[in-house]
């Protein structure tokens, strides 16, 4: 594979955001294309994944992973092709799943790379339905949520890459599935294309009443990836023995302080106790990496059988990554957000 550029563009963290990120928090720079040393690879980014967890990495605080340093390249999973290989296990032209971040080119010593072959079909799927979001949906729902046929499953961000997959796996497992999404178009898509039984617009003034009406027997599994007002409405509807996998809280990522109002922690704790609810957070590759092959086999079977539908929101150009990312945090994407870089 030949290099198509003479420079390496990269987007760095220029400053730490207070509240929602803005363009001023990012810097698009041009640097020299790096040169691999013995045992290393030069990778050309074809596709970059944008995901909500990246907002937390912009903060300078303790978390499950180190924050991005000021002036460092923004982190992110990528699908790349090998340009130059000085590594015995890789050849020029091969496709790999990597973690080279928001840039045109990156260097790897091979650690953590996943081979995708010489001519993969839909290579960007490795960033979505066959990657971290799909894996998150699969393990969170099946291992923590433990859905049973006849259960009522509610999932927020229902047309996002995690929520859409959660709901469809729930249908495969015989659940009654209710999605929550923003806007009539997304709600209709969840029902008509993804096969959800119902989908409720969280922007509706009577959202509480609509959710209650949609769950006449309560909620057995709530897949949490949003938090905020959606969880406020879900909490009183949780059944005894309900399971709540928690993979994200996207509505809270830009918050600079706790919400106003009375302290409701005792209400949450009391509900968990009295109803014996299981609520468990998880970090997908930290907690479930050894089970990736199990997920991959099942998901490939479901995709090939047409049981899982998948939608990408593809944006062309690395230079558009920061605007796409800030829009995603406001719910502007429709499907898995991918930047086409090469």
pTM confidence score: 0.86
Q: How far apart are the C-alpha atoms of 211 and 170, rounded to whole Å?
A: 18
Q: In the structure encoding, which two tokens stand for residue 254, read together? A: 């830009």
Segment 230-260, tens digit of pLDDT: 999 999 999 999 999 999 876 666 666 667 7
Query: What pLDDT score does 162 carry?
Result: 93
Q: Whose structure tokens read 């596709």?
A: 47
Could you tell me which residues come within 8 angstroms of residue 17 by beta carbon, excluding any fewer than 6 positions away?
Answer: 25, 58, 254
DSSP for 116-174 reads: EESS-SSGGGGGTTTSHHHHHHHHIIIIII---TT-EEEESSTTSHHHHHHHHHHHHTT
Long-range contacts of 182-191 (CB under 8 A, 24+ apart): 182/331, 185/334, 186/158, 186/159, 186/334, 187/158, 189/159, 189/311, 189/334, 190/158, 190/159, 190/164
**74, 79, 84, 87: CA torsion to nearest 10:** 90
Counting Cβ atoms within 10 Å, is residue 110 exposed (0-12), middle (13-18) or buried (19+)? middle
Give me the residues paired with residue 244 across strands.
279
- φ and ψ at residue 117, rounded to 5 degrees: 100, 180
Successive 10-residue mean pLDDT values, the chain, 342 residues = 74 94 96 96 97 90 85 96 96 96 97 92 94 95 98 95 96 98 94 97 95 97 90 95 90 65 84 95 92 94 95 96 94 92 92
Segment 280-323, tens digit of pLDDT: 999 998 999 999 999 999 999 999 999 999 999 999 999 999 99
- φ and ψ at residue 257, rounded to 5 degrees: -160, 165
Q: How far apart are the C-alpha atoms of 115 and 41, rounded to whole Å?
A: 13
Q: Give the single-character DSSP code of 218.
A: -
The tally of CA atoms less than 13 A away on the side-chain side of residue 167 is 31
- Using an 8 Å Cβ cutoff, are 145 and 220 in contact? no
Q: How far apart are the C-alpha atoms of 125 and 338, rounded to whole Å?
A: 10
């Amino acid at each position: 594979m030949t290099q198509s550029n003479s420079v390496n563009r990269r987007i760095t963290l220029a400053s730490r955001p207070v509240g929602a990120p803005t363009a001023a928090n990012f810097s698009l720079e041009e640097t020299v294309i790096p040169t691999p040393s013995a045992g290393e690879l030069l990778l050309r980014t074809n596709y970059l994944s944008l995901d909500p967890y990246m907002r937390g990495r912009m903060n300078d605080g303790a978390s499950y992973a180190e924050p991005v340093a000021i002036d460092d390249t923004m982190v992110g999973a990528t699908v790349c092709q090998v340009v130059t290989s000085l590594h015995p296990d890789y050849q020029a032209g091969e496709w790999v799943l990597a973690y080279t971040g928001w840039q045109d080119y990156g260097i790897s010593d091979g650690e953590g790379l996943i081979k995708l072959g010489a001519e993969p079909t839909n290579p960007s799927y490795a960033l979505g339905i066959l990657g971290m979001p799909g894996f998150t949906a699969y393990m969170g729902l099946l291992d923590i949520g433990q859905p049973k046929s006849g259960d009522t499953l509610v999932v927020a961000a229902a047309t996002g890459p995690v929520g859409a997959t959660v709901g469809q796996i729930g249908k495969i497992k015989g659940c009654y599935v209710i999605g929550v999404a923003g806007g009539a178009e997304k709600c209709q898509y969840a029902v008509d294309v993804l096969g959800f039984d119902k989908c409720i617009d969280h922007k509706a003034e009577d959202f509480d009443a609509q959710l209650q009406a949609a769950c006449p027997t309560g909620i057995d599994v709530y897949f949490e990836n949003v938090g905020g007002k959606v969880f406020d409405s879900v909490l009183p509807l949780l059944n005894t023995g309900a399971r709540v996998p928690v993979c994200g809280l996207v509505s809270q990522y830009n918050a600079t302080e706790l919400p106003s109002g009375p302290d409701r922690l005792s209400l949450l704790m009391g509900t968990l106790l009295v109803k014996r609810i299981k609520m468990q957070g998880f970090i997908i590759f930290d907690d479930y990496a050894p089970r990736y092959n199990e997920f991959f086999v099942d998901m490939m079977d479901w995709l090939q059988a047409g049981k899982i539908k998948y939608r990408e929101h593809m944006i062309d150009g690395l230079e558009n990554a920061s605007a796409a990312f800030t829009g995603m945090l406001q719910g502007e994407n429709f499907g898995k957000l991918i930047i086409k870089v090469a």
